[in-house]
Amino acid sequence: MPMLDAAAERAEKGAAPGQDAAPTIEQTSVAGEPCVLLKLGEIVLKGKNRELFERRLQNNIRAAVKGLGIKIQVWQREGVIVVRTESGELAEVDAVARRMTDVMGIVWVHRAWRVAKEVDATVQAALDLVGQHPALLRKGAFAIRARRRDKRFPITSSDLNVLVGAKVQERYDLPVNLKRPDMVVFIEVDQREVFVFTDGTPGAGGLPVGMSGRALVLMSGGIDSPVAAYRMMRRGLRVDFLHFSGMPFTGPESIYKAYALVRELDKFQGGSRLYVVPFGKAQQQIKSSGADRLQIVAQRRLMLKTAEVVAHNLGGAALITGDSLGQVSSQTMQNITALDDAVGLPILRPLIGMDKTEIMAEARRIHTLAISELPDEDCCTVLTPRRAETRAKIEDLRQIEKRLDAGEMAEQLATSLQEHRPSYGEPPA
């Protein structure tokens, strides 16, 4: 069993702050130690800020694994991150790898074998990996794809391909097919060790959560707003959630849905907070003020004004909604313009150009669709006028708000909220 070179180990132990010390490699079914190798996307391109981004991602990785109760170590390598478990048990490494597919900023997740930086150890790991694939051994072709991040390694990538390929062929009598292989063995020579692995799983991509700052999502119980939240988390925003319930004129079902949705979305960021505002009485006041066909847009403006106060208190720099152009009457160009007029904060609308079918496909993929489709009584469906205005005039809306003192109403609503902390780790209600 090869051991890591002692000098490399010492270098590792003196690693930069936030980096974990190196272990010794234990005997396992493949000649090496199982680990998770993470390929980073855009983060690699960010020049000077790169270190900050990498540190943010490392912290997010640690936070994501916390709920699993598995002890890990995280190492930054050039353009990749290595996660190893303290136990080295395969089941634990697999669980960590699965969890990594929800962490924003990671493009590929590979279950890899970390082996000593020696040609013999590399060949042995490749042989073992191929040997673990009975289907391939019965009938199939393979390819070796090697690359060196450390050019001091005595063998070039193409020579390594030829050498390891020849050994695999000799041992298993399998054909090589570089164009359409049934199995690819990747070999990456790093500064301190060699990684050997087969295909991986696509990661979530995007930027690490928190890197772009903080924003507040207006979260209905519907299909769109959870997808909007997901999209903006994926661009590096840490988000808080604000839900308006129709209570006391509706039941609490919409709150349960918002809670379940946030618990599902929490897997992408951790530590999520959901704020719930009872909005029914405010809706009734809007109605009494004679809003008539402007009822829905006036409600949405009051939601936005309230959200602006809440965002201010939470340090949020933007509001996020699930609006999609033309999807419902409140989402015409004129009405969207009237909504933007209600607040000073930017309103981010990541779904603005998406079709409903596309939004639904994404909701299914991130596991929010089934929750969104549960029945509830949305606050916007009570007190809805028979014909909603599609071309709301800002002046008319301002008149209504003047009569109501909407600014004061928003301040009041922002103090009446309830805080919840739906967490991905907790069992469903």
Residue 369 found at the interface with ligand ATP (CB under 6 A)? no
For residue 192, give the nearest of 37, 10, 61, 59 by alpha carbon: 10
Using the minimum distance from each CB to ligand ATP, give the nearer residue, 131 or 280: 280
- Selected range binding ligand ATP among 181-189, 201-209, 219-227, 406-414, rule: CB under 6 A: 219-227
Residue 225 found at the interface with ligand ATP (CB under 6 A)? yes
- Selected range binding Mg ion among 56-64, 168-176, 217-225, 339-347, rule: CB under 5 A: 217-225
Residue 379 found at the interface with ligand ATP (CB under 6 A)? yes
The one among 28, 157, 285, 327 contacting ligand ATP by CB under 6 A: 327
Using the minimum distance from each CB to ligand ATP, give the nearer residue, 187 or 318: 318
The one among 60, 85, 269, 321 contacting ligand ATP by CB under 6 A: 321
Using the minimum distance from each CB to ligand ATP, give the nearer residue, 36 or 345: 345
**Contacts to ligand ATP from residues 250-289, by CB under 6 A:** none
- Check: CB of residue 335 under 8 Å from CB of residue 397: no
Using the minimum distance from each CB to ligand ATP, give the nearer residue, 108 or 230: 230
For residue 199, give the nearest of 85, 112, 88 by alpha carbon: 112
Residue 198 found at the interface with Mg ion (CB under 5 A)? no
Residue 362 found at the interface with ligand ATP (CB under 6 A)? no
Residue 379 contacts which entry, Mg ion, ligand ATP, none (Cβ below 5-8 A, type-dependent): ligand ATP
Distance, CA of 364 to CA of 382 (rounded, Å): 28
Residue 219 found at the interface with ligand ATP (CB under 6 A)? yes
Q: What is the per-residue binding string for ligand ATP in 227-246, x denoting contact by CB under 6 A?
A: ----------------xx--
The one among 58, 220, 254, 372 contacting Mg ion by CB under 5 A: 220
- Check: CB of residue 184 under 8 Å from CB of residue 198: yes
Cα–chain center distance at 290:
43
Residue 295 found at the interface with ligand ATP (CB under 6 A)? no
Using the minimum distance from each CB to Mg ion, give the nearer residue, 85 or 299: 299
For residue 421, give the nearest of 232, 269, 208, 281 by alpha carbon: 269
- Selected range binding ligand ATP among 54-62, 149-157, 170-178, 218-226, rule: CB under 6 A: 218-226
Residue numbers at the binding site for ligand ATP (CB under 6 A)? 218-220, 222-225, 243-244, 303, 321-323, 327-328, 330, 379-380
Residue numbers at the binding site for Mg ion (CB under 5 A)? 220, 222
